[in-house]
Structure formats: C-alpha cells, structure tokens
Structure 1
C-alpha cells in the first residue's frame, strides 16, 4: 500500500498520523508486503512531509511488513542525509526498510528552494545522486573518506519511482526495481514498463526486472456505495488539476454529474487504472491491470474520508485479489 497520509476536512494532522498507523497495522494483518509513504511539502492535505520520521513511527508500530518511501524526492535532499536517515532506520528495523526514490521535488519551486536553498538542479543530478546513495549504503571501502554512519553496509533496497520514461531507463541501466506512479499518472504506464523490461541489465541487486504498479482502489459492498465514497477522491483530484489543493473532503452524492465534460475527463484520465466498485468489479479491474502490465506487485492507494470505511475497503480489495489469484 501507498499512503499519502491525507488530512481530512474537520480532522487534524495528529488524526491523520494515527490513521496511518492503524492502516499499516491493518494491511499487515491482511498479508500486505509493504507500506510506503510519499514525500510532499507545503500541501495542507498531506501529512507525510517528514517521511523518514513517519517511516520509523510506523515500523515501530508494526511487526513484519516492510515500511518505506514512495518516495523520497531526491532533489530535496543531499544523498548523505538520506543515507544516514535510512541507514538508521535499517539498523532499528533490520530487513524491513525500503527506499523508493523520485526525481521530482514533490512540491512547488518556492518550497523546493526553501528545502535546498540556492541549489540549481540539472538532469544529470538524479542519476549521480542515486549512484552516490548506492555507494553510501553499500559496504565501506578501504580508504573511503565519506562514510554514512549509520548507513554503510546496510544495503537498504533502492527503488526508482517514475511517471514518465526517464526513471524507467535509469532503473533498467542500474539493474534496480522500478515502481510506476499509475495511481496518478497512468498515461505512459505500458510504455514505461516495457522500456524498463527491454533495457534491463542484471546487477548485483537484481537478476531480472521487477515492477510495482500503482493502483487506486475504492471498494465497498456495492458499486453504488463505492462510487459515492470515491467522490472524496474525485474532489481531491479536481483540486489537483485546477491548482486548488486542500484537505480530503467528505463524499458528495452525484458529484461527477455536476461537473462539465472537461472536468470529468480530467478526473477520469487521472484515475484511468482505478478500481472503484463492489467486490466483483474491483476483482475484475485489479486482475486486468495485473495481467496487462505483468506487474510483480500492485501498490494500492485508498483514500476514503471515513477511516473505518477505508479499512473495510482494503479488506474487500484483499479478498478480491486472493480470489483473482486463486482463480
């Protein structure tokens, strides 16, 4: 699961963080493999800006599930700082920490400058920073002057994240696993995954391609209830595409029907691979996505206003996935 740790209208940041822990514990009990959180800054509706801190909090409240970043936005951080933070997490929770890396700032230009001051980003920086992180998290070499402590020798697994072709090519070149952000940018999904597989070079990390595909899910006992609950996500997406980000709003009956054609198309394009519906529809949609992409893992994104109904949605999705694989 990928969690944006949404702050809800009428709720608080503290409540959002508490729900993140509840959700991680819940999906762990359902047998999920990983629970990742995304780095965003200067956004009132997202409480996961201090991603490494929150990863430690969630890992401490769970037992077995891998906890990680989806992702750390590397332009915002010096590689050494990231290596030390995730090296510390790896020492605290051995074998349970993932480090997903993105090359977007995850925020606006003003906030990015506040994070890294006057640093000027170039296209070459991201590949260089990724390789520096690999060195810092690998075994310290004789004579190595810059050593991450903690960090060196932890070999925290690196994942490259992307919504275009750039990171797909870099992940293939470096022999790293790849996660595509189809939960919000599905347009280039098939092309990016195919390019990654075609160009993949085996490495000490990975002998063959490994792909995670993001999948928005809103599940309920009936299609109509799921559509109603999804209106919270529809409102949030409309806010994103119109530049009016805010807190996660409660659901609204008939929300899509009140929009113009351009607004509906923008939301539908954003959520093109979403599985919204009752158990049967969700199972069909998730199975189609898995088959069309050949994904090794699906990473579910589930934002429902009511926290209890969010957990119910994940129950339904887990049952649907088991039924699909059993079939």
Structure 2
C-alpha cells in the first residue's frame, strides 16, 4: 500500500510548482537597495536559477507538520539567501577561485571582488530580516528558534567552520572523518537547517523534529557525495559550474578516498537511512521522500 502511494505521487509536478513559488518569492524579496549596483549584484546571484532544493525542503518540512507551507516561505527565502551568499564567497579567488556558477560568470567576475563580498554580506543580513520581520502569522517563539538555527548554520559551527577546514585541507591527505566533518558543516549544515527551520515554523513535535534531523543529516552527506561524483563524471556545460575543479585544487573527495562504486553505494545507503527515519510519517512525507531520491538520481 505504502509503495503504491509513493509511486503515484507526482514529484515532477510538485517540484515545478514549489520551485515557481520560490522564484516568485525570491524576486519579491529584494527592495530598492542603494546604490543600484549593490541591488544588481544581489539579484544577479540570488535570481540565477538553480535547483532551489533548500527552500523546497523547508516548505516540505513545514507541510509535514500539517501547517500551510506559506508560513515558511520567508524562512525558505532566507535559507536561499544564505546559500547564495556562501556560493558568492566560495567562488572568490581567495577561496575556491571559480569563474562559472549556474552556467554564468561568477559574481566577482561581473562586479569585482569587493562588491561580490558586500553583496554576499547584504544577502546574509537580509536573510535574518526575512525571518524576523517578514514572517506574518508565525509566533515570535518559533521565529526565535529559527533565527538561532540560522545563526548556527551561517557561522563558525556551520558554513564558516566547514569552509575554513576545507581550505586548510587542500593539498593534504585527509581521512574519511575529516572529509565528513567538512561536508557536515559546509554542505550538510544548510540542508539540515532547511528541514529543521520548516519543521520549527510548523510547530513539529520533538519526535518528528528528531526524525527530520536524522533525515537531513543523511541527505546532506549524500548530496555532497553525489556532487563529488559529478565533479569527476560530468561536464562544465551540464553542471553549470567548473567540472574537475576539486582535482585541480588537489582536494580530497569521496571518489578519491573511496572510489566511484563505493561512493555511490555510500550515498545510496544514506538515502535509505533518510527515508527510514520518516517511515512513521510516510504517508504525509512523500515530498521529502521523493526529494531524497531526487538527490541521489540528479545529474547536476
């Protein structure tokens, strides 16, 4: 019965509708910033398209609690702003030094390093404005928890700590524990926050919140493993970013450490663990279950 329900779920339609809702909300989120070039730089990267996986995860987690996902839209936009900031900064010459993002020149290639940094900073701070000042109908108690979650993910315990460790490990031999530390903090933290913030806004029970943390931790690692695999097996045209850059930077990746076959097996195991965590809520968790499968099957 459960398998029949899952197979009948139209994930393609769900994803398209959710992505369109997110795009509309992102477009409306940036006001008349001055000077105009700052607004242009912010919009250039925020509205560059992409999978919008993180905000969609946020909306889906809110739906799972039984609440209207519109309640979580401001948080979903905030999460995409933090993600965009991390990409702008990650691409800088002093970081990962990339010229291509989502099929277009990276922000600093268009606007210069200084404005790219400031655009990222502006998006980061706007994210907290979105949650704290633009979330009508959500209690201040729930919003405070979301602000706390986002503060952790955007700072040293999350993205910043993972990025520093990533830079420190370039050109060095890295074991699996260190590699997973990097990705749990750099990639996994924001995916986890996406799910947790949506659940917090929806008032999830402790048992559901704990299950969603297990789910999110698993899909976060699986997402990065697939990223590492695609960096080796795909092209820049398909990925929309520079393929093979991890090899050029002499970074340790899952394929380098485990090989392609074992990396794929590890990702598959993590996705199964993620779906298993949501089994008690399976009927209402179809979007999240389908999103987990999407992560492992994507080609970009």
Query: Which interval holds the TM-score relative to the shorter structure?
Result: 0.3 to 0.5
Q: Which protein has the bigger strand share?
A: 1
- Relative contact order (C-alpha < 8 Å, sep 6+): which is higher? 2
Q: Which protein has the bigger helix share?
A: 2
Please report the TM-score for the alignment, with normalisation by the length of structure 2. 0.32
Please report the TM-score for the alignment, with normalisation by the length of structure 1. 0.30
> Larger radius of gyration, structure 1 or 2?
1
